[in-house]
Amino acid sequence: MNLDLSGIMGDMSIGAAVGFITGYALKKFIKIVLTLVGVYLLSLFWLQQKGVITINTNALFNLAESATTSTLTLADKVVGILPGTGAFVAGFYLGFRKG
């Protein structure tokens, strides 16, 4: 039985590279989205403080809770679909930390 290490190493290196790029890009995307959401919410609260608008904070927090639940459910589905290779997961972790 011959074991082809070059093929295995090639698959691992591609998985690690794709994982790194995915993790790095995801972290950058999350930073941009959270910044935009933060600016939007701060502008709403500033307008409320100036008396321009009235915010129903209970409805706003319920909406935020609903969005968080939906996002976590989606994240669970995505993790289930992702390739389960150790090289991809390790590359994703390193890319996410680097980003």
List the one residue out of 22, 18, 16, 23 whose CA is nearest residue 87: 16
Between the alpha carbon of residue 84 and those of residues 1, 16, 18, 19, 52, the distances in Å are 26, 12, 13, 11, 51
**pLDDT reported for residue 39:** 96
Put simply, whether the predicted model's pTM sits higher than 0.75 gets the answer no
**pLDDT reported for residue 50:** 94
87 touches 18 (CB < 8 A): no
Segments of the chain scoring below 50 in pLDDT: none
**pLDDT reported for residue 79:** 65
